[in-house]
Structure 1
């Protein structure tokens, strides 16, 4: 099923999960001229969503990218969103092999969309947010020939000991109460601790975003916020343990990586220090193009913050610059570089950048008003 809105086609897709019994539900966003083959895409841009949410929450970001020539896609993981067959399935990932199911299903989405552009060597960008960033970090060394650039958003770097402890506890609880049991202890040790780090919070979920409307919408969404089962926590801790190991086990490959984080995101640690540790470890194994951007005043979901337009522009601009450098003769890069040029200039960027002031409401509102006016002018001209 496909729908068109604001000049973008949003298509619902599905394919079999690697678990052998679930149908994975996903979305694809693209311009009509790209969908028809009239104009080549700039690249495939795959979004890997986070814990206890779903891919439709990225609709605004996906439309922004699609207008810049990307074919944007993403799936609802097992135990998430429309993929979950019933409310009781939300938050549940199989205890055994859950990590591998998540990784294989992300690759299934890539293969589904890539199959539509067979023979045209369409570049591929991988974006992961929160739990999705850990999936992306585990995906990179396994499938690095396919990835031309990666963006890791809202990520952290927990210690191996912490991950092993959480995993052992999840398996112990499952032995006595079953893998579908929802443990308040595990939840307090995991996401439950993040709310305590926000001073003056209205509610425990305020760590997600500074905008109360975003937090309230998350709480009201029946597909968001389900407590993970012990099977879900086992898969998550399997992922976090692996992303520490792979940095030492898979040196020698080169993929440009951009880390982005809110300054006040508890997942990234104090002022993004945990995220910076993850970036430094990638550099330590020889990856040459690793950059970080931290946004002061923002929390975990930088794509939903008042100043999200700045994050949108940074992410798209960085990806476009990397693709143009790697594929200067690619038809899609040449077309979109002219039709929708990027303002990104590497010479003006530091390796580890801190953005100040971009989440102030007045600045953000003015920027969105300017963008809306430009879009109306462009539509009237056409």
Structure 2
């Protein structure tokens, strides 16, 4: 688990139905007064409680955070008492995940009609937030993209730092059509997550972070980022500002791919922020790095309110 939240910060837990009735575990960190809203999308094989300390800081700085365990992950998939009967670990796809983001975007705009709403995501979630703006066909609908006041993508999974062999990718493509919900191992070396060894060890033994995913989910995650970099970047709405933050020493997702994507898109307001010697999970880094990372993201969001 992530470092504990500031004792003065609180969050509200709720199990909320999504667009197709699937129940999602959600947390809302309310700022008072709030100047902006952030919808946070976590990464692959993790869950939103790992960001508790950071989301508490956001709320203390005037940013309300709404976060949800994504379809196929976290408590949404693993809580035996509350999860939907059709919810299964790894059972997801980019089509479903984009539709889920669109649903929660509209939900939060209804809750906070006068506040700007930002999408923020890490790793897989970061790529989804970027992809939400670049997908050539629904979901999301064009009018939904216009609801986004900005995107913050941290360590986005556009390309892996060490991509798999082509034959493995080809077999994965075939399997995604034949056995889409088959769960397969998808390990990440915990030592590559951050410089905080205790945090890495906690992740490795966390029952809510099984290092596996469905064939369809993994295939979409890997090919979707490539498609964004090679083609879909052309569809970026130039009026949507974006901040991409990436550690220069990330051994999980490619920082150079993030830089290339940022350079390619047509956003009038865009920034690529490299974090020197940062590993993959910047929110869990040591030696003051995570505090500066969170402060940089908050400052960018408030600058765009």
Fold conserved (TM > 0.5)? Answer: yes
| Equivalent residue number for residue 181 of structure 2 | 180
1:322-361 Cα shifts (integer Å, max 9, x gaps):
21xxxxxxxxxxxxxxxxxxxxxxxxxxxxxxxxxxxxxx
| Residue 49 of structure 2 is aligned to residue 56 of structure 1 | yes
Alignment: residue pair count: 283
Structure 2 Cα separation of the partners of residues 131 and 174 of structure 1? 18
Structure 2 Cα separation of the partners of residues 156 and 180 of structure 1? 21
| Residue 159 of structure 2 is aligned to residue 158 of structure 1 | yes
Structure 2 Cα separation of the partners of residues 210 and 65 of structure 1? 23
Q: How does 1:15-54 map to 2 (within 5 A)?
A: 15-18=16-19, 20=20, 22-31=22-31, 34=32, 39=33, 41-54=34-47
TM value normalised by structure 2? 0.83
| Equivalent residue number for residue 205 of structure 2 | 220
Alpha carbons of 1:175 and 1:257: their partners in 2 closer, same or farther (altered >3 Å)? closer
Match of 2:153, SS state, is strand
Greater length-normalized contact order (CA 8 Å, ≥ 6 residues apart):
2
Superposition deviation, residue 93 in structure 1: 2.2
Structure 1 Cα separation of the partners of residues 89 and 194 of structure 2? 21
| Equivalent residue number for residue 236 of structure 1 | 221
Structure 2 Cα separation of the partners of residues 304 and 77 of structure 1? 20
What stretches of structure 2 of length at least 5 have no aligned partner?
Answer: 81-85, 135-139
| Equivalent residue number for residue 115 of structure 1 | 110
Select 1:303's aligned residue among 283, 288, 294.
Answer: 283
What stretches of structure 1 of length at least 5 have no aligned partner?
Answer: 193-203, 324-382
Q: How does 1:56-75 map to 2 (within 5 A)?
A: 56-75=49-68
Select 2:244's aligned residue among 252, 259, 266.
Answer: 259
Q: How does 1:255-334 map to 2 (within 5 A)?
A: 255-269=240-254, 272-282=255-265, 286-306=266-286, 307-323=289-305
Match of 1:50, SS state, is coil
Superposition deviation, residue 83 in structure 1: 0.3
TM value normalised by structure 1? 0.67
| Residue 96 of structure 2 is aligned to residue 101 of structure 1 | yes
Deviates more, 1:148-157 or 1:256-265: 148-157
Select 1:247's aligned residue among 208, 215, 233.
Answer: 233
Deviates more, 1:121-130 or 1:149-158: 149-158
| Equivalent residue number for residue 372 of structure 1 | none
Match of 1:122, SS state, is coil
Higher-Rg structure is: 1
Match of 1:24, SS state, is strand
Give 1 or 2: higher helix fraction. 1
Structure 2 Cα separation of the partners of residues 252 and 67 of structure 1? 31
Superposition deviation, residue 174 in structure 1: 4.9
Match of 1:297, SS state, is coil
Superposition deviation, residue 15 in structure 1: 2.6
Superposition deviation, residue 74 in structure 1: 1.1
Structure 2 Cα separation of the partners of residues 99 and 291 of structure 1? 25
Select 2:90's aligned residue among 80, 92, 99.
Answer: 92
Superposition deviation, residue 107 in structure 1: 2.3
| Equivalent residue number for residue 125 of structure 2 | 132
Match of 2:212, SS state, is coil
Superposition deviation, residue 114 in structure 1: 2.5
